[in-house]
C-alpha cells in the first residue's frame, strides 16, 4: 500500500484541469479546458471524443508525463505533481507511440522494460500466451507485424499490474480474432484495477466499459455518466437496421420524409425509434418501398449510444456515418447535460 494512496472510492479525480502545450514560436495551445471528471475505483471508463479533442493529453497528465497548468488532478488520492513518483508506480499508460528497438528480441525487450517498471515479465507472457502469441520470445522485434507490436505494447502495460490502467487505442491494428481475445482478457483479468480506455471500436467499448466520459473538440468534457443511467435516459429504445440496394433506389430525401432519425452507413440505414408504435409505423411506411433488401430490429445497445454520442461531440471531424437527422434528434440533444460536472 503506497503511503498517501486513497484506498477508497475515487481512482481518478480531476477538477478544473487546464493544459496548454507550447507550439511554434512559443504560442500556447489549450488542449484541455476546465476538465472535471471522477472515476470510482474499479470503474471501466470509456473516453469518447473526436480526434484531437485531448483524450491522449488527458492520459498523459494522469500518467505524469505532462504537468497540469491549472486545476487539481489526483490519482488514487495522490497528487500527480506533488506525489508524481508514487503515482508512477500505480499507473500504466499504454500508448500507441511506444516503440521498441528492432535489434532486440521480445524476451530481451520485456526483460529490460520489466526492470524499468520493477515488474515481472511473466505477466506479459501470460497475456501473450492467452492471445495466441506464444513462441515468439526469441524473435527479433524487427520481425513483428504492426498488430503484434500493438499486442506487445499492451503486454508491457499489463505487466506492471497497475491500479490505474490507461489504454490509448489498445486494439488498433489488431486482427478480429486477436481483438476478441484481447477484449476477453481485459474483461476477465484486470481485477480491481481502474481502467480508462480510448478506442474507436464501439464493440470494444461496449464490452469493456461501464462508464463514459464524453469530450468535444477544444478539450472540454461534455458529459460523464455510467452506462445504465445512459441507457435509461437515452431517448430511443429500438434500433431498426435497413439494408438497401446500393445506388439511388432510396434517396435521402425519401428516407428523411419517413420522419424518423436515421444514420446512413454504406448501404445500411439505421433508424433509432423510441416506441413500438414508431416501429410499427416505420414498417408500414417501408412495406411498399422499392430498393430494400432486408431489415433487422433490436434493442438499443451501447454501440448505438456510442455512435450517437460520437455524433453529438463530433462537431468538425468527418464521420463515416451521416449526421443524425429527424425530429427526435432535436429532443435527444439534451443541452442541459452538456458541460455539467459529474455527480
- What residues make contact with other proteins under the rule CB under 8 A? 19-22, 31, 57, 60, 63-67, 69, 85, 88-89, 91-93, 95, 97-101, 103-104, 108, 111-113, 115-118, 156, 160
Q: Is the Cβ of residue 87 or residue 264 nearer to other proteins in the bound state?
A: 87
What nine digits make up the cell of 220? 472540454
**DSSP readout, 269-299?**
EEEEESSHHHHHHHHHHHTT-SSEEEEEEEE
Q: Is the Cβ of residue 108 or residue 322 nearer to other proteins in the bound state?
A: 108
CB of 228 to other proteins, least distance (A): 32
Reduced to 3 states (helix: H, G, I; strand: E, B; else coil), residue 37 is strand
User: Residue 199: CA atoms inside 13 Å, Cβ hemisphere, count?
Assistant: 27
Q: Is the Cβ of residue 108 or residue 184 nearer to other proteins in the bound state?
A: 108
CB of 160 to other proteins, least distance (A): 8
CB of 271 to other proteins, least distance (A): 43
- Say how many C-beta atoms besides its own lie within 10 A of residue 214's C-beta: 23
Cβ within 8 Å of residue 130, ≥6 positions away:
181, 185
Q: Is the Cβ of residue 99 or residue 266 nearer to other proteins in the bound state?
A: 99
Q: What is the dihedral of CA 194, 197, 202, 203, to 10 degrees?
A: -50
What nine digits make up the cell of 262? 436515421
Q: Is the Cβ of residue 169 or residue 278 nearer to other proteins in the bound state?
A: 169
Single out the residue of 237, 240, 206 nearest to residue 310, CA to CA.
206
Q: Is the Cβ of residue 111 or residue 276 nearer to other proteins in the bound state?
A: 111
CB of 37 to other proteins, least distance (A): 19
CB of 98 to other proteins, least distance (A): 5
Ramachandran angles phi, psi of 43, nearest 5°: -70, 160
Amino acid at each position: 500500500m503506497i503511503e498517501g494512496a486513497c484506498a477508497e472510492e475515487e481512482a481518478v479525480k480531476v477538477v478544473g484541469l487546464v493544459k496548454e502545450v507550447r507550439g511554434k514560436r512559443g504560442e500556447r495551445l489549450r488542449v484541455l479546458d476546465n476538465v472535471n471528471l471522477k472515476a470510482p475505483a474499479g470503474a471501466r471508463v470509456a473516453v469518447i471524443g473526436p480526434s484531437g479533442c485531448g483524450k491522449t493529453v488527458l492520459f498523459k497528465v494522469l500518467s505524469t508525463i505532462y504537468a497540469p497548468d491549472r486545476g487539481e488532478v489526483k490519482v488514487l488520492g495522490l497528487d500527480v505533481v506533488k506525489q508524481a513518483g508514487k503515482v508512477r508506480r500505480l499507473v500504466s499508460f499504454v500508448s500507441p507511440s511506444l516503440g521498441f528497438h528492432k535489434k532486440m528480441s521480445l524476451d530481451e525487450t520485456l526483460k529490460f522494460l520489466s526492470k524499468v517498471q520493477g515488474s515481472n515479465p511473466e505477466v506479459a507472457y501470460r497475456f501473450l500466451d492467452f492471445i495466441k502469441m506464444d513462441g515468439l520470445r526469441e524473435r527479433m522485434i524487427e520481425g513483428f507485424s504492426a498488430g503484434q507490436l500493438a499486442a506487445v505494447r499492451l503486454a508491457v502495460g499489463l505487466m506492471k499490474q497497475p491500479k490505474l490502467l490507461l489504454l490509448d487505442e489498445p486494439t488498433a491494428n489488431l486482427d478480429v480474432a486477436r481483438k476478441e481475445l484481447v477484449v476477453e482478457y481485459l474483461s476477465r483479468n484486470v481485477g480491481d484495477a481502474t481502467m480508462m480506455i480510448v478506442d474507436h471500436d464501439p464493440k470494444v467499448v461496449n464490452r469493456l466499459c461501464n462508464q463514459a466520459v464524453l469530450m468535444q473538440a477544444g478539450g472540454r468534457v461534455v458529459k460523464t455518466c455510467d452506462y445504465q443511467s445512459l441507457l435509461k435516459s437515452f431517448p430511443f429504445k429500438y434500433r431498426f437496421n435497413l439494408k438497401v440496394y446500393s445506388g439511388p433506389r432510396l434517396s435521402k430525401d425519401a428516407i428523411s420524409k419517413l420522419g424518423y432519425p436515421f444514420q446512413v452507413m454504406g448501404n445500411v440505414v439505421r433508424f433509432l425509434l423510441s416506441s413500438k408504435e414508431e416501429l410499427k409505423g416505420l414498417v408500414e411506411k417501408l412495406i411498399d418501398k422499392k430498393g430494400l433488401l432486408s431489415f433487422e430490429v433490436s434493442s438499443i445497445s451501447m454501440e448505438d449510444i456510442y455512435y450517437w454520442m460520437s455524433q453529438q461531440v463530433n462537431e468538425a471531424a468527418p464521420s463515416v456515418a451521416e449526421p443524425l437527422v429527424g425530429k427526435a434528434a432535436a429532443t435527444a440533444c439534451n443541452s442541459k447535460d452538456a458541460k455539467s460536472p459529474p455527480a
